[in-house]
Structure 1
């Protein structure tokens, strides 16, 4: 995705389009009303997210040791420090360098700020007025850290030349930014002359801060092309405190996958590419400056979500469509079978004999036939419950069984009752009269539970008040005692 890269120095301001690892030609804008109007017109045609890189003298750095705090207490502490150090600018930031290993384990912080906001504000106003999604405001020292990532030294002074700004000298202690200095290069000087003259001065300033500590070497790394390297190697010599190393600008471009060709030692295109491809997390912009960038990100998230929902919907629709085709294929044989059955039904109906009998008379005949069926119950319906009961009472022997229809015993049923005359005998009771009587009573109750109406026509013993006990449950000659039951079966409604 394309990015708009803006570069602001003391005397110039230009914009370049970066896309696919290649930086376009810069377009310069004068620091006056006409230049700012031209910049606004440029922004109307370039709505991509923008980075603003600042390389000015008015950037201050302060190393401070502060208590280790968190949450609102830490926020309040930083706000007090900003108010103390940089009251006149809103472009400030605080970077944690490290936490001390001993004592209270305080935090070593680097406070920095762009101390001349009037130099930046006119260009920010144009960005805000055109609703450009500004990602952040970065200074050149802040984005230089990746250049020394592969360097095995704890004390590095990185030198780079930006032709629109000057010679930038940035000191890193253990890969952490501590100090940076910009030396403008005028028409009477050159990149090589500035390196030769200003490096010893920067070394003396660092020595006043005990950086690096006594006995350790300061490694000076210079970004340049092959021509300037030959000139500098002839004029710079290592000593016990300084060691010079040259970083070829073409090799750096290849390492960071930049697609531009570098014709001299100007590091501005390389640093702009580094900003677009590896932007640091911290920068000088606040939430008001990056408001439209957050809206741009939110819009992209919503578009992405909508696209994902649309894709899922299409997949589900395709799945449902394929499933519906399967259902149609499965339904087709059923439809054919239905049509075949319907055709057979019509053929059967055509074979019916023509009749003049009204439908109502046919219905009446069918209902009468059903009622007549209720008058002639099958023997299985009548005798099955009796048979099941006899299976449980093995000491009752069936001697004779007869039944006949009886309208007199039908009530409360509307259909004739079936009266069964059951002649039976009790066997294997001997002289246990009471037990035999009780056994017969249980048999009667079981028949009643099956839906029969049972009455005794003849007891095996005459137990009435008018008779005398003259029989046995089993006769003296060993034959069983006989009894007769009247069992009534009624048709259920």
Structure 2
């Protein structure tokens, strides 16, 4: 938690405390005059860059409840600011708090307006701090801070009067379901500082609340008095319950424990609630109750400087982490490099040992690698009957009445002599044998591309005897299935019923011939 200067200002004195490591330290008092201001500046001289929280407990603090039209956005803010300026024109320290809306009618906003009506008490201290460029974080009120106190203590009665003894006297603050409505400061102490007439002052406050219609007649006002345990018996004698008043007493030490600030108050705890409120302010540090305007500029500069320091620290931390990560990665990479180099040396040694045990090589390693590459290329690129056979197999799956008898596959090489061509004495047909052999050799290896291939199919049709119409239709359907491949050319070499004019039809009527099957022959040419 950041260190703070926590100042408590009353009408007569100002008390300065230091908030360090979650504890209140110090407690020097200064009179409300020019000499006291000089002493305060000398007191703060060694810690001028520590922010200041100024908590006021003044008699001249006014509270008004008004109803304003429900306007949202920037227009609503301007409307509220105008109403504040009209209500408290003579002071720059103004505050407003929207506490809900009316249940009926226009449903106007219920707004609590408050202000320090005597700025002459606060301005000299604030201007002295600004003159010395001491950052003023906020200007707070014990009354407005007590609203946070009530909520933390769980005192959410419908009508609650909170009474606390502070430096300026007994502060009586009226709440409705945890929302502040009114507050007044009464002396109620004798010359020895003992509490007197606390119950009578509470009765006066109740009469005032009834007159302004904040408290309906017949409603019970729950009055909670916070005081040291040693003063509670005397206070109980002054405060008697009535038909419209119920008193409860809370020890100050018990309240600090419930707020979680007992350790922060420590030795600074006394008979007053000042230190409890200061510790509550330092631990929660809400937004400034009263506007400071330009009087808050040195705190804004301090906050900007702190944010820059934090950003620079964050950047430095990230850079340090990045450098550390890079160093770790470099060390890891160096270790991996050494490990890989060691493995490479082991592999080289094992390779040399294996090669030394092997007999002399017929050729070089490069030639063997080239031979393996050529073999792989022949497997992938060279011609093979499997592609055409798979096409025929797929077509036969759809024509079960066709039975395959014979297949003849060959590669159609350009420049290859046709069947029956005369071969010259040097082994070539119509040209040089060297060129033809070279061309055939490269194409058979699939260089530069796969050569065309042909497949001769001889098959028979399992159909009733002499049903040639069905046989022809079956052959045509089989040929169309094969021709569906765009790179496959299908030619009918011999149909089941040969009706060509060059073929002789023969047969004998009225004689029983040996049962025969309708056979046909197809020639397939595939260009990959």
- Deviations, residues 123-153 of structure 1 (Å, cap 9, x unaligned): 1112212322222111110000233221241
Q: Is the 8 A contact 1:167 1:191 kept in 2?
A: no
Change (3 A) 1:39 1:218: same
Select which of 373, 387, 396 maps to 2:419.
396
Residue 155 of structure 2: aligned partner: 151
Residue 225 of structure 2: aligned partner: 222
- Deviations, residues 355-377 of structure 1 (Å, cap 9, x unaligned): xxxxxxxxxxxxxxxxxxxxxxx
DSSP 3-state at the match of 1:396: coil
Matches within 5 A, 1:10-89: 10-46=11-47, 47-89=49-91
Change (3 A) 1:319 1:197: same
Matches within 5 A, 1:359-370: none
Could you tell me how far apart the structure 2 residues matched to 1:166 and 1:262 are? 19
DSSP 3-state at the match of 1:400: coil
Residue 465 of structure 1: aligned partner: none
- Deviations, residues 274-328 of structure 1 (Å, cap 9, x unaligned): 1111233351133323222222222222222222222222222222212222332
Offset, 1:402: 6.6
Could you tell me how far apart the structure 1 residues matched to 2:283 and 2:111 are? 26
DSSP 3-state at the match of 2:138: strand
Could you tell me how far apart the structure 2 residues matched to 1:248 and 1:261 are? 17
Could you tell me how far apart the structure 2 residues matched to 1:205 and 1:421 are? 130
Q: Which runs of 5+ in 2 are unaligned?
A: 349-381, 383-409, 449-528
Matches within 5 A, 1:32-431: 32-46=33-47, 47-149=49-151, 150-162=154-166, 164-184=167-187, 188=191, 190-258=193-261, 259=263, 260-261=266-267, 264-332=270-338, 390=413, 395-397=418-420, 399-400=422-423, 419-420=432-433
- Deviations, residues 175-209 of structure 1 (Å, cap 9, x unaligned): 11111101135653745204133111111111101
Offset, 1:122: 1.1
Could you tell me how far apart the structure 1 residues matched to 2:311 and 2:30 are? 39
Q: Is the 8 A contact 1:7 1:52 kept in 2?
A: yes
Q: Which runs of 5+ in 1 are unaligned?
A: 342-383, 405-417, 424-442, 452-493
Could you tell me how far apart the structure 2 residues matched to 1:45 and 1:194 are? 44
DSSP 3-state at the match of 2:26: coil
Change (3 A) 1:99 1:281: farther
Please state if 1:7 is matched with 2:34: no
Change (3 A) 1:100 1:393: farther
Could you tell me how far apart the structure 2 residues matched to 1:177 and 1:197 are? 22
Aligned-residue Cα RMSD (Å) equals: 3.5
When the two structures are aligned, how many residues end up with a matched partner? 374
Offset, 1:391: 7.4
Q: Is the 8 A contact 2:190 2:196 kept in 1?
A: no
DSSP 3-state at the match of 1:24: strand
Offset, 1:87: 0.7
* TM-score (normalizing by structure 1): 0.68
Q: Is the 8 A contact 2:139 2:288 kept in 1?
A: no
* TM-score (normalizing by structure 2): 0.64
Could you tell me how far apart the structure 1 residues matched to 2:118 and 2:289 are? 16
